Amino acid sequence: MTSNRLAVVVLAAGMGTRMKSGQPKVLHQVAGKPLLRWVLEAAEELDPERIVVVVGPGMESAVAAAKPHAAVIQEDRLGTAHAVQQALPLLIDDQGSRGEGDILVLYGDTPFISPKTLKAMLELHRAPKGGTLVALGFEPTDATGYGRLQLDDQGALLQVCEQAEIDADPDKAALGEIRLCNAGVVLADGPALFDLLAGIDNDNAKGEFYLTDIYALARQRSQRTAVQVASEEEVMGINDRCELAEAERIAQQHLRRRAMRAGATLIGAETIFLCDDTQLGRDSVIHPHVVFGPGVIVGERCEIKSFSHLEGCRLAANAVIGPFARLRPGTELGEGARIGNFVEVKNARLGAGAKANHLTYLGDATVGEEANIGAGTITCNYDGFGKHRTEIGARAFIGSNSALVAPVKVGADAIVGAGSTIVEDVPDQSLAVTRGAQRKIEDGAKRFRERRSKKE
């Protein structure tokens, strides 16, 4: 009997040898988000009671990335069926019932699996004549390497035949002609899955416990099987850096379209890189070659000019950025604020209408509204030991090439003369200037030139 309870198991124990990487495969990122998180977020959309991630030994970073969901370690990598079995103890509830409800098995390296497809699988499974087991199939351009789905004439799944078995047994060669392949996703009635897994052996070409053997076994036990079909793009698995790059290309294409459909203009869209969580307000215009790292929220009618890099920042409406601006985490720009070329901002809040238009570093700072930060201003926030804050009041004017040595405050409506090094607080309305007095030497330039030309 099917109920509406659901648990999800995500298989991620493979190190991903072909990535040639020191970190687990599922932590490599697409659009600023680890592969594993893409899969977890799709699973979360189904609102399951529990998600368990199966990782390999020594993959602490993957355990951390799985949080708040539970992770189990598969000590020996004995195959996909064995991997699912490692998660089962966590699916036994307090009453000792064996995974009462449905169990969905996903792969951690298949980032584009969509909640829509998973929901369709659930519907197929829960329909009156649905399958005890539902597999996800697709028709790849090249089927080599995938398990083939053999159907009966009612469309029920008879068995999955792995590539290794086709290669090892001439009698199975005909199955190699089948185009419909196994994506790997399984949706099963929990108690049935517990029993089926217990019945699987590793008597095959690879000596592995194949999860895919559950289908043939289910048929022997007169249980129903069905197949839901997805697109190749949706179930693409990432195995090496080339596939990772291809996934990035696909993700960027989706994200750009999503941003444009939501009302942002992307000029030269193919040169703009977004993160999955990038939010662009209506009528904002993004010029070519802008890169968004994680955590960027852009308000309405903002303009971000070419070659700017933004991460972890929030822009109120009508802000203008770049070209060549760098906004680092903790940057907050008020309405209509302007950050110009070669300006870096980190952990700083600028009030409405504040401007820093050229060659400036604002770190650990607060800048009041309508303040004007001259070219070449540096907030000296780090003394080699700790970080300190600079506070600049509303409408203050900081002259070019000034160093503000934090901790320091410049009051509202104050002026700092160009070329000053400010180490003490400047009160509201006052003017501070620290540069040496200028000397004027009458005809000095002329005499200097004469001396030089005589020498030569």
Stretch that binds ligand UD1, among 187-195, 207-215, 373-381, 430-438 (CB under 6 A): 207-215
Sign of CA dihedral 93, 97, 102, 105: positive
Q: Choose which of 32, 131, 237, 281 interacts with ligand UD1 (CB under 6 A).
A: 237
> Under rule CB under 6 A, which residues in 144-183 are in contact with ligand UD1?
146-147, 160, 162, 181-183
| CB nearer to ligand UD1: pick between 13 and 27 | 13
> Under rule CB under 6 A, which residues in 184-203 are in contact with ligand UD1?
184
- Closest-CB residue for ligand UD1? 147
Shortest separation between residue 400's beta carbon and ligand UD1, angstroms: 56
Sign of CA dihedral 189, 190, 192, 194: positive
Stretch that binds ligand UD1, among 45-53, 106-114, 296-304, 426-434 (CB under 6 A): 106-114
Shortest separation between residue 256's beta carbon and ligand UD1, angstroms: 28
Q: Choose which of 88, 103, 211, 230 interacts with ligand UD1 (CB under 6 A).
A: 211
Q: Choose which of 102, 109, 344, 370 interacts with ligand UD1 (CB under 6 A).
A: 109
* Residue found under tokens 């217990």: 198
Binding characters for ligand UD1, 2-21, by CB under 6 A (x = yes): ---------xxxx-------
Q: What is the CA radius of gyration of the chain?
A: 31
Size of the site for ligand UD1 (CB under 6 A): 27
Sign of CA dihedral 414, 420, 422, 423: negative
Is residue 358 flagged as an active site residue?
yes
The Cα 290–Cα 54 span in angstroms is: 37
The Cα 197–Cα 376 span in angstroms is: 67
User: How many residues are given for the chain?
Assistant: 456
* Residue found under tokens 């977890």: 40
Q: Name the amino acid, one letter, at 418.
A: A
Stretch that binds ligand UD1, among 38-46, 63-71, 209-217, 346-354 (CB under 6 A): 209-217
Q: Choose which of 54, 188, 197, 373 interacts with ligand UD1 (CB under 6 A).
A: 54
The answer to whether the beta carbons of residues 7 and 89 sit under 8 Å apart is no
Shortest separation between residue 2's beta carbon and ligand UD1, angstroms: 23
With binding defined as CB under 6 A, does residue 24 bind ligand UD1?
no
Stretch that binds ligand UD1, among 33-41, 73-81, 244-252, 405-413 (CB under 6 A): 73-81
Shortest separation between residue 106's beta carbon and ligand UD1, angstroms: 9
Stretch that binds ligand UD1, among 61-69, 87-95, 107-115, 414-422 (CB under 6 A): 107-115
Shortest separation between residue 147's beta carbon and ligand UD1, angstroms: 2
Shortest separation between residue 182's beta carbon and ligand UD1, angstroms: 4
Closest CA to 161 of 233, 210, 123, 124: 210
Q: Which of 28, 125, 309, 358 is catalytic?
A: 358
| CB nearer to ligand UD1: pick between 181 and 304 | 181
Q: Name the amino acid, one letter, at 368.
A: G
**Residues classed as catalytic:** 358
Q: Which residue ranges make up the site for ligand UD1 (CB under 6 A)? A: 11-14, 54, 74, 77-80, 82-83, 107-109, 146-147, 160, 162, 181-184, 210-212, 237
